[in-house]
Amino acid sequence: MANSPSMKLTSVQELVKAAPPLSSIPLHFLQQTRIALSVPTPSSSAEIPTVDYTLLASPGSGETELQKLHSACKNWGIFQFACILLSLLSVFCISMCFHYGKVVNHGMSPEVMEKLRGEIEEFYELPLEEKMKYGGDGEGYGGGRVRANGIRDWGDRLYITTNPVHLRRPNLLPQLPSSLRDNLETYIQTLKTLASGLLGSMEEALEMEANEMAAKMDDGLQSVAIIYYPPCPQPELVLGFTPHSDATCITILSQVNGVGGLQAKTRDGSWVPVNILPNALVVLVGDILEVFSNGLYESAEHRVTVNPDKERISMAFFVNPKLEAEIGPAASLVMKNPPCRFKTISTEQYFNNFFGRVLDRKTNLEALKIDN
């Protein structure tokens, strides 16, 4: 059968491009319930919070913004990381057909972002044989990943380990078209610095002992996923990305071509759209940070819906501890606020376990929980 979940499907994009056009959605993409594409938001409080990085970094107003960061991580596990004033300005300027140069200054130049966007689009336009040069089961290029109940995601991705440098695969980053590779490298290095500052703020907000988390994260495992969600004629029947929390410490996400689709689950169990401000990054608390914080911060469950007409491209930067570090609740937090809620495990063992499981909601954390 052409659509068995056990069969390798290398690219959803190819499936959509094939002639004649799809007359129905292949069976193994079909979700068990219809997906609400535009979720009504009951009130403005259902919008995910925004943390202003300029304020977070400024000595005068840092305290209030630190509290905002703390409550966003506690109550949502997901927030937008933006300069609110500049984002509003950019909306205004775009609507006035006016080019506003340096819109957001999280260290990521809009020029690099714009070039990356073009280069990523070009990458996905390459013939399948070209993309397959980067093909691989875990790392590299591939699509239609099988999730819980054998249901496939409606999306392709290029997944690359970027740090530590000796773990980089010679057939991936070094072999990418040079302009894509160079801009991606700039992007990765900028986010690396941003992540380390943000983790420092989180450590402060959690009132952890200084460096307790940073020491584990220094030169840690990092990777990037560039994800392509093709349009789908019946988007309410499929998901671009199955509901899950990230196995990471934190994830920093950008919506490369401005097309929406990311939804986050609120603590009361409803899905809300993540309406990403222009040039904002989205930060997700991952499962490892939930463990480090002894459950004070909770990883956010999220999913991606697809669009009937437009492709969506996003880029996720995954930030993790180093392989030699142990993942477990910070001793300083357990001491102040017992009991200890999670077991301690090596990072290596944690990821071996994670990659041996099917990604499914927040099940990754179950094995680490201690029943008190």
Q: Which of 195, 226, 252, 253 binds ligand AKG (CB under 6 A)?
A: 253
Cross-strand partners of 273: 263
Nearest CB to ligand AKG, comparing residues 152 and 341: 152
Q: Which of 72, 184, 208, 316 binds ligand AKG (CB under 6 A)?
A: 316
Would residue 107 be called left, alpha or beta, if left means φ above 0 and alpha means ψ between -120 and 50 degrees? left
Q: Which of 52, 156, 203, 246 binds Fe ion (CB under 5 A)?
A: 246
Distance CA 150, CA 31 (A): 10
What secondary structure letter does DSSP report for 44? G
Q: Which of 154, 241, 292, 350 binds ligand AKG (CB under 6 A)?
A: 241
Q: Which x/- pattern over 26-65 shows residues binding ligand AKG (rule: CB under 6 A)?
A: ----------------------------------------
Q: Which residue sits closest to Fe ion, CB atoms considered?
A: 246
- Helix-strand-coil percent breakdown of the chain, rounded to 5? 35, 20, 45
* Partner interacting with residue 265 (select from ligand AKG, Fe ion, none; CB below 5-8 Å by kind): none
Q: Is 23 exposed, middle or buried (0-12, 13-18, 19+ CB in 10 A)?
A: exposed
Nearest CB to ligand AKG, comparing residues 220 and 240: 240
Sheet holding 302-304, edge to edge: 241-244, 302-304, 262-265, 271-273
Residue 311's closest CA among 213, 240, 224, 222?
240
Residue 346's closest CA among 366, 322, 370?
322
Residue 302 touching ligand AKG (CB under 6 A) = yes
Q: Which residue sits closest to ligand AKG, CB atoms considered?
A: 314
Residue 225 touching ligand AKG (CB under 6 A) = yes
Q: Where along the sequence are the contacts to Fe ion (CB under 5 A)?
A: 246
Q: Where along the sequence are the contacts to ligand AKG (CB under 6 A)?
A: 225, 227, 241, 246, 253, 262, 302, 304, 314, 316
